[in-house]
Amino acid sequence: MDFNKILIRWFSDNKRDLPWRRTKNPYFVWLSEIILQQTQVKQGLTYYEAFVNQFPSVFDLANATENDVLKLWQGLGYYSRARNLHASAKHIAFNLNGAFPKNYNGLLELKGVGDYTASAIASICYNEPKAVVDGNVYRVLSRYFGVETPINSTKGIKEFKDLATTLIDHNQPGDYNQAVMEFGAIQCKPKNPNCIKCPLNTSCKALKDNIIPNLPVKLKTTKVKTKFFNYLVIKTNTQYTILEKRTKKGIWQNLYQFPLIESEQNIEELFIREHNTLKNIVGKENFDITKYNEKPYIHKLSHQHLHTTFWIIESNINYRDSIHIKNIRKYPTPILIANFIEEFFD
């Protein structure tokens, strides 16, 4: 039997019952695909439910503020997805009168929609035979066909896309695409795949050659940078604090945080000297600063390790642009800040 027939059969027998598989409405499919970019189903599921619940249509999403969208996205990471999702919702609602692009090429014009997502939506919603190539597809195809081209090389990207295109089932492209991905997620896993009970184990090239653990081939990863974050957490006697919006490009764009002193080097010693000086100048009766966490929290991102110290500033000064602490949870923040807020306030 053909590769794709076996996979589609396997899919119909083993697929998980997921909410976005119960609809072909492009709004819901689009929403699920954006949420699932670089995100496991288990992690994305609750966010999908929350978005469907709070924004039942593209118009509801379009009419929300970016702060609201980012707040609902909080904790999911890769926040450009949320900003692009919102921008595209406004475009669809207000420029296209709520009508989704009706094919791969039209979908590709949406912000945050690349080859993978356009192929997924076009195949699932419109039966367009565009093959998806995500991390699962790279793994399944590289193993089954024994392809050793690095998946993150220009050559590999084209080679796997072409291979996937020759394999797609033209009668049920959406089911085929989802079948390969589900197969990669559940059966042909990165570590310890269960090849003993695999429906493809009689024809899998990598299994035959005993090189399953070597595939797919991926070129070297980027190295991690260390940065030092000192957050100034103001708490006034009238229960006000200060949050600032990260407007610059880079991590956490448009999310909120406490005033931050960021450095490439550890400035703890300098910081302690200066904050003692500050206490003496301002006067301890109006202003007291203490270190909250004795050991820095190390917040690990995929490409940065943030050594973070929170400094508590108790003060009876009225600051401009301060917010009442009872409103602090309305602001979208990085999970690092959200966790601190839950621990420190009330």
Partner DNA sequence: AAGGCGGGGAT
Partner DNA sequence: ATCCCAGCCTT
Residues found near DNA in the complex (CB under 7 A) = 18, 20-21, 32-33, 36-43, 75-80, 84, 111-118, 120, 134-136, 138-139, 153-154, 178, 181-182, 184-185, 189-192, 216, 218-219, 221-222, 225, 249-253, 299, 301-304, 334-336
Q: What is the C-alpha separation between 41 and 310, in angstroms, rounded?
A: 33
- CA distance readout (Å), 263 to 258, 271, 293, 296, 306: 15, 11, 18, 14, 10
Q: What is the C-alpha separation between 5 and 107, in angstroms, rounded?
A: 28
Query: Would you say 115 or 314 has its CB closer to DNA?
Result: 115
Q: How far is the CB of 316 from DNA (least distance, A)?
A: 32
The string over 240-252, giving b where at least 16 C-beta atoms fall within 10 Å of a residue's C-beta and e elsewhere, is bbbbeebeeeebb
Query: Would you say 249 or 320 has its CB closer to DNA?
Result: 249
Instruction: For residue 148, give the 3-state DSSP assignment.
Output: coil
Phi, psi of 233 (to 5 degrees): -95, 105
Is residue 321 left, alpha or beta, with left meaning phi > 0 and alpha meaning psi from -120 to 50?
Answer: left
Phi, psi of 209 (to 5 degrees): -85, 0
Query: Would you say 117 or 315 has its CB closer to DNA?
Result: 117
Side-chain half-sphere of 37: how many Cα atoms within 13 Å? Answer: 22
Q: How far is the CB of 212 from DNA (least distance, A)?
A: 12
Q: How far is the CB of 85 from DNA (least distance, A)?
A: 11
Query: Would you say 265 or 280 has its CB closer to DNA?
Result: 265
Instruction: Classify burial at 109, counting beta carbons within 10 Å of its beta carbon; exposed 0-12, middle 13-18, buried 19 or more.
Output: exposed
Q: How far is the CB of 248 from DNA (least distance, A)?
A: 9
Query: Would you say 157 or 282 has its CB closer to DNA?
Result: 157
Query: Would you say 93 or 113 has its CB closer to DNA?
Result: 113
Residue entry with tokens 């602490």: 325
Is the four-CA dihedral 97, 103, 106, 110 of positive or negative sign? positive
For the record, the structure tokens of 327 come out as 């409103």
Query: Would you say 186 or 282 has its CB closer to DNA?
Result: 186
CA-nearest of 150, 329, 140, 159 to 241 is 329
Q: How far is the CB of 100 from DNA (least distance, A)?
A: 15
Q: How far is the CB of 305 from DNA (least distance, A)?
A: 10
> By the 8 A CB rule, do 48 and 19 touch?
yes
Active-site annotation holder among 33, 128, 294, 342: 33
Q: How far is the CB of 295 from DNA (least distance, A)?
A: 14
Alpha-carbon dihedral angle through residues 81, 139, 105, 2, given to the nearest 10 degrees? -150
> Is 342 one of the catalytic residues?
no
Catalytic residues: 33
